[in-house]
Amino acid sequence: MKTQLNQPMKDLPEDAMATKNRKTPHPTLLLVEDDEDLRQQMKWALSSDYELREAGDRTTAIHIVQNEPVHLAILDLGLPPRPHEAVEGLAALEEMLSVNRDLKVIMATGNTDRRHALRAIELGAYDFLEKPIHVEVLKVVLERANYLLRLERENRTLKKQEDQSDFEALIGTSAPMQKVFEVVRRVAKSDISVLVTGESGTGKELIARALHQQSDRAHGAFVAINCGAIPENLLESELFGHEKGAFTGAHTRRKGRIESADKGTLFLDEIGELPTALQVKLLRFLQDHCIERIGGRESIEIDARIIAATNVDLDRAMAQGKFREDLYYRLNTITIPVPPLRDRGGDILLLAERFLSRVADGANKNFAGFTKEAKISIERYHWPGNVRELENRIKRAVAMADGNRITAEDLELDSPRVGYTGHSLKDAREAIERELIQRTLEKTGGNITRAASELGISRPTLHDLIVRYSLREPKES
């Protein structure tokens, strides 16, 4: 029995595709389906948005992928010569991804093929759809797959341009990070002191380095010191240096970090951990721009810009008498709050893909990316350790993974399947989709435009999904 698209189709003229407006290049979509009637219906439904290629069997599909730049594919699990089994479809999936690791493949399955759908996802399929295929659902899935493909390309472009980038290792397209970048651009050229705040692992030192590299001091040294990582009895010498014989063990004169930052930038990480006595000396330097080494009497003039960072509440520390108010106001000319990873929306997957590429290259390993379940788990996880935790989990996953894609288990994250035991695959997928839309709407404060952008879909599509899942559509802000 032939399967049809679950939507009435109107006949089109034979030359409809030839006369289409192609001013804007479309993604290339490969239809791998042995049912010619169904293939024709999909062509009619999708030809306005995609450059279409067709294949009725595995051999033809592989030949096309090997010889043409295919971006997306719809692949039937049941292909000849064994159309009632999944062997040919799964084999085609593996071969196509081995040729083009970036290819986004949507599997088309019959009701009897459900048990094979998870296997297809594990092998690297982007998604699966049950027959009869709903046209609007298919269009949404293709639109998201194409959006992800564009993100991955942009990520690779950013990686290639890293050495020339204004923000070096920083990456992010979310609204909170764009605000950070804008402040960095505005204050980088000045010499005013900057206080960078944020949770541990959010990348505060990267912000400090970006400020230095975009400043007129970029030719000078960037000197970093973690005020909470050095014992108190050694910290003064680390900061201010010492003269020979100043204390037991001081066999030679030694410059301190502040002096080493002359004509450059001094980054004081975890400034909230600085002992009170050293806060007084640091304040004096900020006022006079001069220091004295321990055991010395010579006043040394230093021209260094100061950038400080903290993950503690300095207002509370001042109230408790642990941090000097006068030092706080000297350091806090400009504050740059760095958002936690959980508030950065689509940046999470963007960072994950970048870390995977970099870590895998360093380990001489080749991965085709993350499984879909891993991506869902990454987006759902709270990330208390922020960017640093994300990077460390990916390093561990690269070392331990057996397959060609990183799974949620490799990352030691809960699989999204755990919460949907007992549901059909279709119900589970819809539940995950509904949850993701609801969370995104909440995160964006009901702003439909922003929510649609983060989800990688159009505003009308998001409105349709809100209606479909009976979600309460919040007022736009």
Q: Where are the domains of the chain?
A: 28-160, 175-338, 345-468
Instruction: Measure the CA–CA gap between 423 and 253, rounded to whole angstroms.
Output: 72
Name the more confident of 50 and 454.
Answer: 50
Question: What is the pTM (predicted TM-score) of this model?
Answer: 0.57
Q: Which helix (H) or strand (E) holds 177?
A: helix 175-187
- Evaluate if residue 460 carries a pLDDT over 80: no
Q: How many residues does the chain have?
A: 477
Instruction: Measure the CA–CA gap between 349 and 355, rounded to whole angstroms.
Output: 10
Sign of the Cα pseudo-torsion (413, 103, 399, 122, in order):
positive
Instruction: Measure the CA–CA gap between 71 and 29, rounded to whole angstroms.
Output: 6
* 28-160 under CATH 2.40.240.10, yes or no: no
**CB-facing half-sphere around the CA of 167: CA atoms within 13 A:** 17
Largest separation between any pair of C-alpha atoms in the chain = 96
Instruction: Measure the CA–CA gap between 62 and 55, rounded to whole angstroms.
Output: 9
Q: In sequence order, which ranges of 252-346 are alpha helices (DSSP H)?
A: 257-260, 276-288, 314-319, 325-331
Name the more confident of 381 and 71.
Answer: 71
- pLDDT tens per residue, range 171-226: 888 888 999 999 999 999 999 999 999 999 999 999 999 999 999 999 999 999 99
Considering the chain, what percentage of its residues have pLDDT values greater than 90? Answer: 43
Q: Which CATH number fits domain 175-338: 3.90.600.10, 3.40.50.2300, 3.40.50.300, 1.10.357.10?
A: 3.40.50.300
CA-based angle 47:49:53, to the nearest 5? 50
Instruction: Measure the CA–CA gap between 91 and 125, rounded to whole angstroms.
Output: 12
Contact yes or no for 57/100 (Cβ under 8 A):
no
- What pLDDT does 187 receive? 94
Contact yes or no for 50/138 (Cβ under 8 A):
no
**CB-facing half-sphere around the CA of 169: CA atoms within 13 A:** 13
User: In CATH terms, are 175-338 and 345-468 the same topology?
Assistant: no
Q: What is the CATH number of domain 345-468?
A: 1.10.8.60
